[in-house]
Structure 1
């Protein structure tokens, strides 16, 4: 929404809410379109992208590891209603991601598979407003309370989703509310894109210096010559009233912002996270999760034991080590060293990471690279803190705006 937004509090807002807002259900304001039942043998590496439940994260659709199907044998127009593009959003109807609402934030088009439902508002209803109605904790609680317990796998039907209650304001106010929340999300997305651009620039420079211009006479070193593996165990539940900052795999996937949780809420052991470390996920190194931890972090920071904590032996090598671990060659070595029964459950041991061999011209050259690119990491770290602030503001405002407790001038 352009211009300045006025938030109105108090008695006037409450009276207006009672007079103008209507109690409705989701299926009264939007169409719920379950995905197409493609056959398992149709999936491969070619054709149109298909979004499955595994590709849905809360807030966005992940296009990084999608499957594809060849659709040439389908009649023209048969699959049109199952297509999603920029701005569309879907709900996972089964599995570990059940209830998560993901939005397409890239300029891409895809089809949706069965057990994924597309939500599309009806005429006269703001599509963005309906999206934000489904983005809060109330919708997640509704999903959990309406899961079909008679099935072998947790699932929820389109009919059950359609019974989700929505308090509907006039269309102009729907758009104003969505405008406030969209402006916050747009700023968050912009910062994410800026960070991705900075990392891509640094990765390009790393590849030029240490891969494309590599020489046979360069000294071969192990990763263990450059970095140390840290393993300080923490039992948060022993300190139930302490607020911990947890670096978990879901937190990484949701924008690399640690979550805040009381010790009593964290039931498993964790590792201590200290400043100037790098977290490397053990799980599925073919698609690595590598998290750079800045020099200023909150007290009582911990990480999931699915992460391994590494620290460069010299601070001047921090940026070099970070982009070394992210490089294609090292990721390839980690993938080959991983063990497990399937691609999605393979894990890499810390000793295998430490034994990976790399060639560098000299420590001085690596330090020079670090001095150039350290600013990229620092900028990304600051941006993530802003993202965390904006996300907290959005999450605080969202239920208040959706309930009419806080009103927007329109």
Structure 2
């Protein structure tokens, strides 16, 4: 089939998630409790969700029968427009918040599902989306009708599959790396679990709170590594940025440290960092910069500060009138007790090895992500041949 330009609505089945349309009705009677997907759960092509919708709650929290299947392409359409993910083939059925929609390419149709996923990340999609995207007083949005009316360059099924396989090889390796990193960190946390150790110490007995603050626009280096909450949430890799573009003051990170979020501490944002030599490292002021002392490594410090029991204790000490502004005072954090890592012995070395593995896997994943993002617009526009891209990818996976 020769290449042609087609409206998206001609290539997908009737979208079952028509935002704001249809009478609310429960699907929990058919499927049981369902994991509910929100905008925050769609991260760089992957799905992360833990909350389930119980019977009787579904109707109060969502509108209509919003249930997708593995293989559907998920798109955020309100708040943060344009996050996209492909439902895992081995995954379960999901329900949706009204800020998301999904697309299901026609069975045996001319559109390959994974190609549609990459198309939503392409320049062709964004050029059109930015034209039709609207804005309320609170957030950006794009209607389902507008998305469905967008037009896409549609090559042959064979070329779609070839493009999807090249980019998919990188994404699959990224996924493997992320799983290894997560498993390594889980093992490290298990070794430092409070259930295994009796000895406790105040946090300020094993680390110092660093408060050196800098104004990024005054930095003369061409680039800095910016450790922000969004960077943590999107892969635990700092964003390399032009300091002139960072408008607010930041903490200077000098040497190995642990960054502990004081904002909503029940959310697991504890970051074990080792800044790259020669590149200034800046941390959001929402983090506490903890420098290990007394012979404790940053890996061991992270392993005790990232324990869920410690986070829960900090969460009980927060101040603030709203969920988005709940913070724990630095003095409360430093006075709180954790497992004493100075007694770890051989387990301390195991924790350091596991942390090193997690860091290496994430750095490689970041390199692969950059390569994918470089190849994607070239392949989707047809400016780069698939065979040439395959040769490039072979050296990295």
Category of TM-score, reference length = shorter chain: 0.7 to 0.9
- Equivalent in the alignment of 1:12: none
Q: Which moved more, 1:26-35 or 1:376-385?
A: 26-35
Q: Which one of 39, 45, 49 corresponds to residue 35 of structure 2? A: 49
- Which digits, 9 at most, give the CA deviation of each residue in 1:192-227, with x for residues without a partner? 0011111111222222xx42452xxx4x42100111
Please show how residues 4-403 of structure 1 align to structure 2 within 5 Å: 20-31=2-13, 32-34=15-17, 47-64=33-50, 66-70=51-55, 82-95=66-79, 97-105=80-88, 107-122=91-106, 123-136=109-122, 139-140=125-126, 142-149=128-135, 153-207=139-193, 210-214=194-198, 218=199, 220-239=200-219, 242-294=222-274, 296=276, 299-358=279-338, 360=340, 363=342, 365-403=343-381
1 CA distance for matches of 2:184 and 2:298?
16
Displacement of 1:275 = 2.8
Displacement of 1:92 = 1.4
Q: Which moved more, 1:165-174 or 1:101-110?
A: 101-110
1 CA distance for matches of 2:57 and 2:260?
41
1 CA distance for matches of 2:276 and 2:86?
32
Displacement of 1:137 = 5.5
2 CA distance for matches of 1:391 and 1:274?
27
Normalised to the residue count of structure 1, the TM-score between the two structures is: 0.82
1 CA distance for matches of 2:345 and 2:100?
48
2 CA distance for matches of 1:108 and 1:297?
44
Displacement of 1:262 = 1.2
2 CA distance for matches of 1:326 and 1:51?
25
2 CA distance for matches of 1:73 and 1:202?
37
- Which digits, 9 at most, give the CA deviation of each residue in 1:131-187, with x for residues without a partner? 001124654554444222366543210111123332211100000000001100000
Higher relative contact order (CA 8 A, sep 6+): 1
1 CA distance for matches of 2:294 and 2:319?
30
2 CA distance for matches of 1:187 and 1:371?
28
What 5-or-longer segments of structure 2 have no aligned partner?
A: 391-397
Superposed CA RMSD in Å reads 3.1
Normalised to the residue count of structure 2, the TM-score between the two structures is: 0.84
**Aligned 8 A contact 2:216 2:249 in 1:** yes
1 CA distance for matches of 2:297 and 2:221?
37
> What is the aligned residue count?
376
Q: Which moved more, 1:264-273 or 1:339-348?
A: 339-348
SS at match of 1:337: coil
1 CA distance for matches of 2:283 and 2:122?
25
- Which digits, 9 at most, give the CA deviation of each residue in 1:67-108, with x for residues without a partner? 51416999xxx977x32344433111112x222113334733
